[in-house]
Structure 1
Amino acid sequence: MNNDRDALIAGLISMAGFLKAHPQIPTSIAPVTLRAFPDNGSDDDMRTEVDKVAALIGTEIDPHHLPHDHYMTGIGFGPVRYEFIAILAAARARHAADDSYRGCIQIDTTQEP
Protein backbone atom coordinates (compact mmCIF):
# COMPACT_ATOMS: atom_id res chain seq x y z
CA MET A 1 0.00 0.00 0.00
CA ASN A 2 1.02 3.57 -0.64
CA ASN A 3 1.63 5.37 2.68
CA ASP A 4 0.86 8.79 1.15
CA ARG A 5 -2.42 7.48 -0.25
CA ASP A 6 -3.34 5.85 3.08
CA ALA A 7 -2.49 9.07 4.94
CA LEU A 8 -4.64 11.13 2.56
CA ILE A 9 -7.62 8.81 2.95
CA ALA A 10 -7.22 8.69 6.75
CA GLY A 11 -7.01 12.48 6.87
CA LEU A 12 -10.15 12.90 4.76
CA ILE A 13 -12.06 10.45 6.93
CA SER A 14 -10.83 12.15 10.12
CA MET A 15 -11.78 15.59 8.85
CA ALA A 16 -15.25 14.38 7.82
CA GLY A 17 -15.78 12.80 11.23
CA PHE A 18 -14.55 15.92 13.00
CA LEU A 19 -16.88 18.18 11.02
CA LYS A 20 -19.79 15.79 11.57
CA ALA A 21 -19.14 15.79 15.34
CA HIS A 22 -18.84 19.60 15.51
CA PRO A 23 -21.78 21.07 13.57
CA GLN A 24 -21.10 24.51 15.08
CA ILE A 25 -17.88 24.80 13.04
CA PRO A 26 -18.61 26.61 9.76
CA THR A 27 -17.79 25.01 6.44
CA SER A 28 -17.75 26.39 2.95
CA ILE A 29 -20.62 25.75 0.59
CA ALA A 30 -18.14 25.83 -2.29
CA PRO A 31 -17.25 22.50 -3.89
CA VAL A 32 -14.17 20.63 -2.68
CA THR A 33 -11.94 19.14 -5.38
CA LEU A 34 -9.13 16.66 -4.96
CA ARG A 35 -6.84 16.78 -8.01
CA ALA A 36 -4.25 14.20 -8.96
CA PHE A 37 -1.82 14.23 -11.88
CA PRO A 38 0.14 11.60 -13.80
CA ASP A 39 3.91 11.80 -13.76
CA ASN A 40 5.23 14.18 -16.41
CA GLY A 41 5.97 12.35 -19.61
CA SER A 42 5.01 12.52 -23.23
CA ASP A 43 1.51 13.74 -23.98
CA ASP A 44 0.60 10.25 -25.23
CA ASP A 45 1.85 8.60 -22.01
CA MET A 46 -0.05 11.04 -19.82
CA ARG A 47 -3.25 10.67 -21.86
CA THR A 48 -2.93 6.89 -21.50
CA GLU A 49 -2.76 7.26 -17.71
CA VAL A 50 -5.85 9.49 -17.69
CA ASP A 51 -7.67 7.00 -19.91
CA LYS A 52 -6.82 4.22 -17.42
CA VAL A 53 -8.22 6.24 -14.51
CA ALA A 54 -11.34 7.11 -16.52
CA ALA A 55 -11.92 3.40 -17.11
CA LEU A 56 -11.41 2.63 -13.40
CA ILE A 57 -13.94 5.24 -12.26
CA GLY A 58 -16.33 4.70 -15.17
CA THR A 59 -16.14 8.20 -16.64
CA GLU A 60 -15.30 9.87 -19.93
CA ILE A 61 -12.68 12.47 -20.81
CA ASP A 62 -14.03 15.97 -20.10
CA PRO A 63 -14.24 17.74 -23.50
CA HIS A 64 -14.55 21.21 -21.95
CA HIS A 65 -10.88 21.27 -20.94
CA LEU A 66 -9.42 19.92 -24.19
CA PRO A 67 -9.11 23.38 -25.85
CA HIS A 68 -6.84 24.35 -22.93
CA ASP A 69 -4.67 21.24 -23.38
CA HIS A 70 -5.88 19.73 -20.12
CA TYR A 71 -6.79 16.08 -20.61
CA MET A 72 -8.91 15.13 -17.64
CA THR A 73 -11.56 12.97 -16.13
CA GLY A 74 -13.38 13.18 -12.84
CA ILE A 75 -16.15 11.92 -10.65
CA GLY A 76 -18.36 13.79 -8.20
CA PHE A 77 -19.75 12.89 -4.81
CA GLY A 78 -22.18 15.73 -4.18
CA PRO A 79 -20.08 18.86 -3.62
CA VAL A 80 -16.87 16.78 -3.45
CA ARG A 81 -15.06 15.91 -6.68
CA TYR A 82 -12.03 13.82 -7.70
CA GLU A 83 -10.18 14.85 -10.88
CA PHE A 84 -7.22 13.25 -12.66
CA ILE A 85 -5.59 15.73 -15.03
CA ALA A 86 -2.77 15.60 -17.56
CA ILE A 87 -1.49 19.08 -18.34
CA LEU A 88 -0.19 18.61 -21.86
CA ALA A 89 3.02 20.07 -23.29
CA ALA A 90 1.35 23.01 -25.06
CA ALA A 91 -0.34 24.15 -21.83
CA ARG A 92 2.92 23.81 -19.88
CA ALA A 93 4.75 25.85 -22.55
CA ARG A 94 2.10 28.61 -22.44
CA HIS A 95 2.33 28.74 -18.67
CA ALA A 96 6.14 28.93 -18.78
CA ALA A 97 5.98 31.77 -21.31
CA ASP A 98 3.45 33.70 -19.22
CA ASP A 99 5.45 33.05 -16.06
CA SER A 100 8.68 34.30 -17.68
CA TYR A 101 7.42 37.87 -17.15
CA ARG A 102 6.99 37.38 -13.39
CA GLY A 103 8.70 40.20 -11.52
CA CYS A 104 9.46 42.21 -14.66
CA ILE A 105 6.56 44.64 -14.41
CA GLN A 106 6.65 47.29 -11.70
CA ILE A 107 3.52 49.27 -10.87
CA ASP A 108 4.06 52.98 -10.29
CA THR A 109 2.30 53.66 -7.00
CA THR A 110 3.59 57.24 -6.70
CA GLN A 111 0.96 58.72 -9.04
CA GLU A 112 -2.75 58.92 -8.45
CA PRO A 113 -5.06 57.60 -11.19
Structure 2
Amino acid sequence: MNTAQRHHRSELTAGLRALATFLDSHPHVPVPKYGTVRVSVHTNYDTDASSEAEAIAEVERIAALLGTTPTVENGHHVAGAEFGSVRYEAILITQAAMARREALDSYRDAITLDDIEGA
Protein backbone atom coordinates (compact mmCIF):
# COMPACT_ATOMS: atom_id res chain seq x y z
CA MET A 1 0.00 0.00 0.00
CA ASN A 2 1.49 3.31 -1.05
CA THR A 3 1.46 6.57 0.95
CA ALA A 4 -1.59 8.01 -0.84
CA GLN A 5 -3.58 4.80 -0.22
CA ARG A 6 -2.59 4.77 3.46
CA HIS A 7 -3.61 8.43 3.77
CA HIS A 8 -6.98 7.82 2.11
CA ARG A 9 -7.61 4.79 4.31
CA SER A 10 -6.75 6.80 7.45
CA GLU A 11 -9.09 9.60 6.35
CA LEU A 12 -11.91 7.11 5.73
CA THR A 13 -11.59 5.36 9.09
CA ALA A 14 -11.23 8.69 10.91
CA GLY A 15 -14.35 9.96 9.16
CA LEU A 16 -16.31 6.86 10.16
CA ARG A 17 -15.20 7.28 13.77
CA ALA A 18 -16.07 11.00 13.67
CA LEU A 19 -19.53 10.20 12.31
CA ALA A 20 -20.11 7.63 15.07
CA THR A 21 -18.97 10.12 17.74
CA PHE A 22 -21.17 12.85 16.27
CA LEU A 23 -24.24 10.60 16.16
CA ASP A 24 -23.60 9.40 19.73
CA SER A 25 -23.37 12.99 21.00
CA HIS A 26 -26.34 14.29 18.96
CA PRO A 27 -29.20 11.89 19.71
CA HIS A 28 -31.76 14.14 18.01
CA VAL A 29 -30.10 13.75 14.60
CA PRO A 30 -32.01 10.93 12.87
CA VAL A 31 -30.36 7.75 11.64
CA PRO A 32 -31.83 5.16 9.26
CA LYS A 33 -34.58 3.13 10.95
CA TYR A 34 -34.61 0.35 8.40
CA GLY A 35 -32.04 -1.42 6.37
CA THR A 36 -28.31 -1.43 6.51
CA VAL A 37 -25.74 1.31 6.04
CA ARG A 38 -23.26 0.06 3.45
CA VAL A 39 -19.60 0.67 2.81
CA SER A 40 -19.05 -0.72 -0.68
CA VAL A 41 -15.74 -1.38 -2.39
CA HIS A 42 -16.07 -1.83 -6.14
CA THR A 43 -13.10 -4.01 -6.96
CA ASN A 44 -12.83 -2.86 -10.56
CA TYR A 45 -12.36 0.76 -9.40
CA ASP A 46 -11.21 0.70 -5.77
CA THR A 47 -8.39 -1.85 -6.06
CA ASP A 48 -5.39 -2.39 -8.29
CA ALA A 49 -7.29 -4.93 -10.43
CA SER A 50 -6.64 -4.26 -14.11
CA SER A 51 -9.03 -6.82 -15.59
CA GLU A 52 -12.41 -8.28 -14.82
CA ALA A 53 -10.79 -11.58 -13.84
CA GLU A 54 -8.51 -9.76 -11.38
CA ALA A 55 -11.47 -7.84 -9.96
CA ILE A 56 -13.35 -11.11 -9.40
CA ALA A 57 -10.25 -12.53 -7.72
CA GLU A 58 -10.22 -9.45 -5.46
CA VAL A 59 -13.80 -10.16 -4.36
CA GLU A 60 -12.71 -13.73 -3.55
CA ARG A 61 -9.61 -12.50 -1.69
CA ILE A 62 -11.66 -10.02 0.35
CA ALA A 63 -14.21 -12.75 1.12
CA ALA A 64 -11.40 -14.86 2.55
CA LEU A 65 -10.23 -11.93 4.70
CA LEU A 66 -13.80 -11.47 5.94
CA GLY A 67 -14.13 -15.20 6.60
CA THR A 68 -17.05 -15.58 4.22
CA THR A 69 -17.87 -16.99 0.81
CA PRO A 70 -18.69 -14.66 -2.08
CA THR A 71 -22.06 -14.92 -3.75
CA VAL A 72 -22.39 -14.89 -7.53
CA GLU A 73 -25.76 -14.09 -9.04
CA ASN A 74 -26.52 -12.72 -12.50
CA GLY A 75 -22.97 -11.46 -12.94
CA HIS A 76 -22.78 -9.80 -9.52
CA HIS A 77 -19.89 -11.06 -7.38
CA VAL A 78 -20.33 -9.92 -3.76
CA ALA A 79 -18.52 -10.60 -0.51
CA GLY A 80 -19.66 -8.94 2.68
CA ALA A 81 -19.77 -8.90 6.43
CA GLU A 82 -22.11 -7.18 8.87
CA PHE A 83 -20.98 -5.07 11.78
CA GLY A 84 -24.26 -4.47 13.56
CA SER A 85 -26.39 -2.50 11.10
CA VAL A 86 -23.35 -1.59 9.00
CA ARG A 87 -22.29 -3.80 6.11
CA TYR A 88 -18.87 -3.84 4.47
CA GLU A 89 -18.97 -5.34 1.00
CA ALA A 90 -16.77 -5.90 -2.00
CA ILE A 91 -18.57 -5.95 -5.34
CA LEU A 92 -17.81 -6.69 -8.98
CA ILE A 93 -20.51 -6.45 -11.64
CA THR A 94 -19.35 -8.14 -14.82
CA GLN A 95 -19.37 -6.40 -18.18
CA ALA A 96 -21.91 -8.97 -19.40
CA ALA A 97 -24.27 -8.10 -16.54
CA MET A 98 -23.90 -4.39 -17.26
CA ALA A 99 -24.57 -5.01 -20.96
CA ARG A 100 -27.74 -6.96 -20.10
CA ARG A 101 -28.94 -4.08 -17.94
CA GLU A 102 -28.12 -1.54 -20.63
CA ALA A 103 -30.08 -3.58 -23.19
CA LEU A 104 -33.05 -3.76 -20.85
CA ASP A 105 -32.90 -0.02 -20.18
CA SER A 106 -32.68 0.72 -23.91
CA TYR A 107 -36.42 0.04 -24.13
CA ARG A 108 -37.27 2.50 -21.36
CA ASP A 109 -38.25 5.37 -23.68
CA ALA A 110 -40.30 3.08 -25.93
CA ILE A 111 -42.91 2.51 -23.24
CA THR A 112 -45.27 5.16 -21.91
CA LEU A 113 -47.75 4.63 -19.13
CA ASP A 114 -51.07 6.37 -18.81
CA ASP A 115 -51.17 8.81 -15.95
CA ILE A 116 -52.68 7.26 -12.86
CA GLU A 117 -54.90 9.62 -10.94
CA GLY A 118 -53.55 10.32 -7.47
CA ALA A 119 -50.12 8.88 -8.18
Give me the TM-score of the superposition, normalised by structure 1. 0.77
Pair 1:39-2:48 in alignment: no
Partner residue, 1:23: 27
Higher-RCO chain (CA-CA 8 Å, sequence separation at least 6): 1
Structure 2: gaps spanning 5 or more residues: none
Q: May I ask how many residue pairs the two structures share in their alignment?
A: 108
Pair 1:53-2:62 in alignment: yes
User: For residue 33 of structure 1, what is the amino acid of its counterpart?
Assistant: R
User: For residue 72 of structure 1, what is the amino acid of its counterpart?
Assistant: V
**What is the correspondence of 1:1-113 to structure 2 with a 5 Å cutoff?**
1=3, 2=5, 3-30=7-34, 31-39=36-44, 41-62=50-71, 66-101=72-107, 103=109, 105=111
Taking only the aligned residue pairs, the percentage that are identical comes to: 39
RMSD across aligned C-alpha pairs, in angstroms? 2.3
Give me the TM-score of the superposition, normalised by structure 2. 0.74
Q: Specify whether residues 4 and 100 from structure 1 end up closer, same or farther in structure 2 by C-alpha distance, changes over 3 A only.
A: farther
How far does residue 55 in structure 1 lie from its aligned partner after superposition? 1.6
User: Using the alignment, how far apart are the partners of 2:114 and 2:103 within structure 1?
Assistant: 24
Q: Which secondary structure state, in structure 2, belongs to the residue aligned with residue 59 of structure 1?
A: coil
